[in-house]
């Protein structure tokens, strides 16, 4: 899989017009519909004007290859951590009414089922809210 195409598919192509004539000639080509500029991440030629211009030292830094793949994997992990935070937060909210009856007592009081995603009747989630019968 070409990871360079993932960024262009999601956010669009990134083109740049450097001031240096040698670099400018390598990044642009005349086309039938106008000038086509080379996309920095994927290398495809895209019609239309460049997104930026100036000296080559001021060109945008583009992640490619393994660096791009690592960034995407880290984003997937971040989304997973956020979803776990939400799930455990909802689970803690669903357990809010269960308290021991007295000092030193291990008996738990049963609570009425709160309208939430935890009371769906799914057997994997019934341990979270003991009073929920589905």
Per residue in 1-42, pLDDT (tens digit) is 676 677 777 778 888 888 998 888 888 888 888 889 988 888
Say if CB 10 and CB 68 are below 8 A apart: no
Kindly indicate the confidence band of residue 129, based on its pLDDT and cuts at 50, 70 and 90. low
92: three-class secondary structure by DSSP: helix
Asked if pLDDT for residue 105 goes beyond 50, the answer is: yes
Sign of CA dihedral 117, 122, 124, 128: positive
CA dihedral 109, 110, 116, 119 (to 10 degrees): 140
Would you list the domain boundaries of the chain?
A: 4-58, 66-97+108-125
Confidence of residue 74 (pLDDT cuts 50, 70, 90): very high
Question: How far is residue 50's CA from residue 11's CA, in Å, rounded to a whole number?
Answer: 15
Whole-structure pTM value: 0.49
């Amino acid at each position: 899989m070409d990871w360079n195409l993932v960024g262009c598919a999601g956010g669009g192509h990134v083109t740049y017009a450097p001031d240096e004539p040698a670099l400018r000639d390598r990044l642009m080509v005349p086309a039938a519909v106008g000038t086509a500029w080379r996309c920095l991440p994927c290398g495809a030629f895209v019609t239309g004007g460049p997104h930026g211009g100036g000296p080559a030292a001021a060109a945008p830094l583009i992640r490619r290859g393994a660096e791009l793949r690592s960034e995407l994997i880290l984003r997937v992990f971040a989304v997973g951590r956020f979803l776990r935070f939400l799930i455990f937060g909802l689970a803690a909210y669903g357990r809010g009414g269960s308290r021991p009856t007295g000092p030193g007592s291990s008996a738990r009081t049963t609570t009425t089922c709160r309208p939430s995603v935890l009371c769906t009747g799914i057997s994997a989630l019934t341990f979270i809210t003991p009073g929920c019968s589905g």
